[in-house]
Amino acid sequence: MAAINLTLPPHTGTTSFLRPPSTSKTYTYTYTPSKTQSFHSTRLNNTHLSLSSLKPNNRRQLNGLVVCAVGKLSETELVPVENDDVVVPSGSGVYAVYDNNGDMQFLGLSRNIQSSVVFHRKSVPHLCASVKVGVVDSPDRAALTEAWKSWMEEHIEATGKVPPGNEKGNTTWVRQAPKTKADIRLTPRPNTKLTVPLEELIDRMVKENKVVAFIKGSRTAPQCGFSQRVVGILETEGVDYESVDVLDEEHNSGLRETLKRYSNWPTFPQVFVNGELVGGCDILSSMHEKGELADLFKK
Amino acid sequence: MGSRGANVLLSRASRIKTKLQSVLEAKLLEVEDVSYQHAGHAAVKDNANETHFNVKVVSGKFDGQNLVKRHRMVYDALADELESGLHAISIVAKTPKEAGLD
């Protein structure tokens, strides 16, 4: 991820950046150049932009070379986005999201404004009632940053505050990488003895958790094509599930043989839903294709 | 086909066929050895021989049985094989009606 370093402008008037003085209020926005066409909002990690030190004449010096590429925030049309057909351009530029009270919640920068707005509509719909969009025609990083700063400045001058979504530490608007769940281990440390018979432990596990998948390998690195397919199906279905690695002899010693007896099923993977064995890869695949899995998971 | 004594000389595929045929009275039976597809697989290691099969069975005995029960019937019929190196089977289990064989 790119980190833009901001330093105080020298007197030469060349384009340079601002470093925030430590006492001033800072807030972050994040910027990453997107790798694919769709679906990446731009994020810049850990950059503190302080606009309290941005005074109009400083900016003009700064802007000797870069002309601000977007119109004024106040002169930009407010476009409602409450229907799901978002009519917003897909170019690069700056965008401001307003809630249904007309307050600005977030000022963003994107290489694909439309996809960013769609993403925000999905993740925080209650905060996205309308947007203002400023497409930047030659979207190099400097131009984009300039456009963003100009709108932010204008907004602060007009309202006296920073949009809540841009405050430091606020991650509401930033796309988070989904954290994968850890596999369940029967014993916390390797080669520990069980205090409860294994069959009972299995029984409890499948009854206490809605969906349990006993697979070969871990959910992030399955060691068998069938297990991998099952993990893929569960991930696609989006259901919350527990996974147990039957090949892990250190933490799950004896699980393979005991489970075969418990389920009366000789192969892996094995998927249990609501305490009952649903089947292995074949059955899961067939149910997934027929749409039966979604119904099963709802129960 | 060979008698019981000569069982061991028959390939696993033919043994699977014989067992499923007799236990399930299959109307249609296809057994395919796909072990080569799983060579290098963690538990198979060097012996990718007669370890993974695709099995398709059409039988009236599957009527009224859900998928889990059908698969269990197949597994039960092949219990010996599963204990002697048969590692995994992909099962397609249909009733004659489902298979359009009525």
Cβ distance of B75 and A267 shorter than 8 Å: yes
By the CB < 8 Å criterion, does B67 face chain A?
A: yes
What local confidence, expressed as pLDDT, does residue B48 receive?
A: 61
* Tokens of residue B87, six digits: 């590692």
β-partners of residue B92 are B56
Q: Residues A204, A121: one domain?
A: no
Domain boundaries, chain B: 12-39+48-97
Domain-embedded: residue A39: no
**A74, A54 contact by CB (below 8 A):** no
What is the CATH T-level fold of the domain B12-39+48-97, as seen in this structure?
A: GMP Synthetase; Chain A, domain 3 (3.30.300)
Q: In chain A, which residue's Cα lies nearest the Cα of B42?
A: A223
Q: Which residues of B touch A224 (CB under 8 A)?
A: 41-43
> A166, A190, A210: which is the final residue of a domain?
A166
Cβ distance of B71 and A283 shorter than 8 Å: yes
What local confidence, expressed as pLDDT, does residue B44 receive?
A: 56
Q: Residues A161, A222: one domain?
A: no
CATH of the domain at A243: 3.40.30.10
> How far away is chain A from the Cα of B69, in angstroms, using its nearest Cα?
9
Q: Which residues of B touch A281 (CB under 8 A)?
A: 90
Q: How many CB pairs under 8 A join A and B?
A: 43
Domain-embedded: residue A61: no
For chain A, 299 residues long, give each residue's pLDDT as a single digit of tens: 444 433 323 333 333 333 333 333 444 444 444 333 333 333 443 334 444 434 444 344 444 444 567 888 888 888 888 776 668 888 899 999 999 899 999 999 988 898 888 888 888 888 989 999 999 887 788 889 999 999 999 999 999 999 999 998 888 888 766 677 888 888 888 777 888 888 999 999 999 999 999 999 999 999 989 999 999 999 888 889 999 999 998 889 899 999 999 999 999 999 999 999 999 999 999 999 998 998 888 87
CATH of the domain at A79: 3.40.1440
Domain-embedded: residue A142: yes
Cβ distance of B71 and A247 shorter than 8 Å: no
> A118, A143, A166: which is the final residue of a domain?
A166
Q: Residues A156, A202: one domain?
A: no
- Indicate if the pLDDT at residue B74 is higher than 60: yes
Domain total in chain A: 2
Q: What are phi and psi of B75, to 5 degrees?
A: -60, -45
Q: What are phi and psi of A102, to 5 degrees?
A: 80, 10
Question: Which ipTM score applies to this complex?
Answer: 0.78
What local confidence, expressed as pLDDT, does residue A27 receive?
A: 45
Q: In the structure, what pLDDT confidence band is assigned to residue B7 with cuts at 50, 70 and 90? A: low
Domain that holds residue A264: 198-298
> Can you give the length of chain B in residues?
102
E strand or H helix that includes residue A119: helix A113-123
Domain-embedded: residue A37: no
What local confidence, expressed as pLDDT, does residue A285 receive?
A: 93
Q: Residues A273, A204: one domain?
A: yes
> How far away is chain B from the Cα of A184, in angstroms, using its nearest Cα?
21
Helix boundaries (H) for chain A: 56-62, 113-123, 141-159, 198-208, 225-237, 255-263, 281-290, 292-298
Q: Residues A158, A248: one domain?
A: no
What span, in angstroms and rounded, lies between the C-alpha atoms of B20 and B12? Answer: 12
Which stretches of chain A sit within 8 Å of chain B by CB?
Answer: 216-217, 223-226, 247, 264-267, 277-283, 286-287
Domain-embedded: residue A59: no
